Amino acid sequence: MKTVGYAAHSADSALVPYHFERRDLRANDVAIEILYSGVCHSDLHTVNGDWGPQPYPLVPGHEIVGVVKSVGADVKNYKVGDHVAVGCMVDSCQECDQCHHHEEQYCRNGMTGTYGAPDRQTGDITQGGYSKHIVVREEFVLRIPDNMDISKAAPILCAGITTFSPLRTWNVTKGTRVGVIGLGGLGHMAVKLAHAMGAEVTAISRSKNKEKEAIAMGAKGILASTDADAMAAAANAFDIIIDTVPVKHDVTMYAPLLDVDGTIVIVGQVGPLEEPLTLPLILGRRRIAGSLIGGIKETQEVLDFCAEHNVYPDCEMIKMEDINSAFERLAQGDLAHRFVIDMSSLSAE
């Protein structure tokens, strides 16, 4: 199938229109017309080569919402016209213990990323959601709940599941004291999801500039990390802290905020951190942990949870042609929301 998207052709070039082929449907494939595509900070890191050399040309995008256009002969769960979604993975081995536990993101044989990864059968490089169409095997297609606003759902597929999964893993429930570092795409979803779970949520940010927004999302307020007195007063104040900061930073300063047995979960930063000190960890049996997206079953759960609890990302809708300026704004940081590309702005020609 011929399609069109926006691709990077090198680490330092802008995204430009790119015509390419989606594969012919295999028996278990679903062909999707993409309606909305979220813009994740990792799209920017990846196309810039921050995480290593990339197979250019590369079409990023792994927060995908669309409508089924056709299905392969063996597809059981989807039909033409269904509203569906695709997240950060499009395949895994389906045979290992992790795949059997619905944790395909930790597949022993490596999950297949939605873009920039070799297809398990052909070796062709996968291309992501900044495009008109995508073809994905049924097992990696999610269902959009009937009552969901599809124009706002895309960021749930990465920002939503990436924060939902650790909140669930660490049993966040009514009354759990949750800190969220950073209020960008991931952080603002962490605040909303934890609040919807009944937790007592505090945003942790360098300044209180975005306190009004944080409170509107469900936080009690902002703890300013630059305010030494406030940080000292917040010692032992959290059971769990979700750290969404996407750049190299210091986690040692946050460790004393955890109560005994508390955990900082890093979900935003890939690569080296400032050197952590062990003392606050040892003194409170505190942990620094990491977490990668979530499995397909749990991704369906977060979509259903958001529909049920009316939790939506704050989205700024952009046109496809505005992606490069959106990337610039993302690189400068300080957004308390997610860009979503309205894919109808991209002509199919």
Q: Which residues bind Zn ion (CB under 5 A)?
A: 40, 42, 92-93, 96, 99, 107, 158
Residues 299 and 156: their CA atoms lie apart, in Å, by: 8
Shortest distance in whole angstroms from residue 312 CB to Zn ion: 17
CB of 92 or CB of 225, closer to Zn ion: 92
Give the number of other Cβ atoms within 10 Å of residue 301's Cβ.
Answer: 17
Shortest distance in whole angstroms from residue 243 CB to Zn ion: 16
CB of 98 or CB of 263, closer to Zn ion: 98
Shortest distance in whole angstroms from residue 236 CB to Zn ion: 32
Query: What tokens appear for 185 in the block?
Result: 């795409």
Let me know if 78 is exposed, middle or buried by CB neighbors in 10 A (0-12, 13-18, 19+). middle
- Give, for 134, the enclosing helix (H) or strand (E): strand 133-137
Shortest distance in whole angstroms from residue 194 CB to Zn ion: 19
Query: What tokens appear for 313 in the block?
Result: 């990302």
CB of 155 or CB of 262, closer to Zn ion: 155
Peptide bond into 57 cis (omega under 30): yes
CB of 237 or CB of 266, closer to Zn ion: 266
Beta bridge partners of 270: none
Let me know if 150 is exposed, middle or buried by CB neighbors in 10 A (0-12, 13-18, 19+). middle
Shortest distance in whole angstroms from residue 87 CB to Zn ion: 8
Shortest distance in whole angstroms from residue 100 CB to Zn ion: 8
Q: Which residues contact 293 (CB under 8 A, 6 or more apart)?
A: 87, 88, 89, 105, 158, 161, 162, 165, 299
Strands 238-243 and 177-181: parallel
Shortest distance in whole angstroms from residue 211 CB to Zn ion: 26
CB of 95 or CB of 261, closer to Zn ion: 95
Q: Alpha helix (H) ranges present in 40-184?
A: 41-47, 97-100, 159-169
The closest alpha carbon to 219, from 242, 197, 191, belongs to: 191
CB of 98 or CB of 205, closer to Zn ion: 98
Q: Which residue has the tokens 């398990």?
A: 120
Shortest distance in whole angstroms from residue 117 CB to Zn ion: 14
CB of 25 or CB of 40, closer to Zn ion: 40
Let me know if 11 is exposed, middle or buried by CB neighbors in 10 A (0-12, 13-18, 19+). middle
Shortest distance in whole angstroms from residue 220 CB to Zn ion: 27
Q: Which residues contact 332 (CB under 8 A, 6 or more apart)?
A: none
Q: Phi/psi at 66 (nearest 5 deg)?
A: -160, -165
CB of 71 or CB of 89, closer to Zn ion: 89
CB of 246 or CB of 256, closer to Zn ion: 246
